[in-house]
Every structure is written in structure tokens, then in C-alpha cells.
């Protein structure tokens, strides 16, 4: 199924945020730990990327006349069941991380943030690829 221009525009937001994160060239945990600017910018960029994933999942469900599920993680699982995105529990983990940023913002574990930077950014690109292949 080909999706509309709104979805493509949202995918480009993720790409833009990923480019920004990469441009900050965060090479070490110490570099992140020593800069509240990098911490805040990274948290926000990851939050936006995940919010966009959630928006896209809701839009695709709506375009397929499927009501949204009870949670954003369940929306991801539904898209997986429909064969739209790959079956990765990490997508649901990213939604949970976003929930943590939003609701437990006073205590973000920098080690988790750094781990996402170094090991999980590819998930956003996988999501983009999955949606575009539609």
C-alpha cells in the first residue's frame, strides 16, 4: 500500500533528527555526561523520532480502517502483525523509552541514552525503510 505525503513528510522528520544527532558526533559516554546541552538535545531528538513513529503507526492504522490500539506499543505490534514493519521488539522498547522520557523526565539514565545512541539508532532507519517499502 502506498501511503500519502503526510507519512513521507513525517519520515523525513525522523531522517532530519537522525542527521542532527549524528552531526553532534557523540563519541564517548563522558562527552555526553559532561554536556547538559548534548543530553537535552539527544533526549529531545529521540523523543521526536519516537513520537513520529507513533504518529505514523496511528495514521497507517486509520488508513486501513483499523482503530488505534490501547497503547502506542500495541500499535507497533499491530503493524508488525500486518507485515508493514519488521517484527522487532525494539520498536516497542523505543516507545517505552519515549514514555520514560516524557513521564520520568527528572531522572533519565545517561547510560541508557548513550546505549541508544550507539546501538539503536539503526532502528529508526529500519522503521523508515519498512514504511517506505509499504
At residue 83, the pLDDT reads 92
Domain count for the chain, please give it.
1
- Between vectors from CA 10 to CA 80 and to CA 87, what angle results, nearest 5°? 15
- Please give the average pLDDT of every successive group of 10 residues along the chain, which has 134 residues: 80 97 96 95 93 94 92 91 84 79 73 90 93 86
Alpha carbon 102 to chain centroid, angstroms: 13
- CATH number of the domain enclosing 33: 1.20.120.580
Model pLDDT, residue 122 = 92
Report how far residue 113's alpha carbon sits from residue 119's, in angstroms, rounded to the nearest whole number.
10
Radius of gyration of the chain (CA): 15
* Lookup result for grid cell 505514523: 56
In 3D space, the residue among 57, 59, 48, 60 whose CA is nearest the CA of residue 18 turns out to be 48
The per-residue pLDDT for 45 is 95
pLDDT at 106: 66
The pLDDT, as a whole number, for residue 105 is 61
Host domain of residue 111: 5-133
Q: Are 82 and 64 in contact (CB under 8 A)?
A: yes
pTM for this entry? 0.89
Contacts for 7 with CB less than 8 Å, ≥ 6 apart? 56, 59, 60, 131
- For residue 42, CA distances in Å to 7, 82, 111 come to 23, 31, 13
Amino acid at each position: 500500500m502506498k501511503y500519502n505525503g503526510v507519512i513521507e513528510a513525517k519520515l523525513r522528520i525522523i531522517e532530519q533528527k537522525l542527521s542532527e544527532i549524528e552531526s553532534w558526533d557523540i563519541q564517548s559516554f563522558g562527552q555526553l555526561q559532561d554536556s547538559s546541552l548534548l543530553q537535552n538535545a539527544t533526549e529531545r531528538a529521540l523523543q521526536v523520532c519516537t513520537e513520529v513513529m507513533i504518529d505514523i503507526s496511528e495514521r497507517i492504522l486509520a488508513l486501513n480502517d483499523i482503530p488505534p490500539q490501547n497503547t502506542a506499543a500495541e500499535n507497533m505490534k499491530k503493524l508488525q502483525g500486518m507485515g508493514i514493519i519488521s517484527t522487532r521488539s525494539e520498536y516497542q522498547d523505543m516507545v517505552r523509552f519515549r514514555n520514560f522520557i516524557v513521564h520520568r523526565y527528572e531522572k533519565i539514565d545517561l547510560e541508557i541514552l548513550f546505549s541508544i545512541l550507539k546501538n539503536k539508532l539503526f532502528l529508526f532507519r529500519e522503521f523508515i525503510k519498512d514504511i517506505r517499502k509499504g
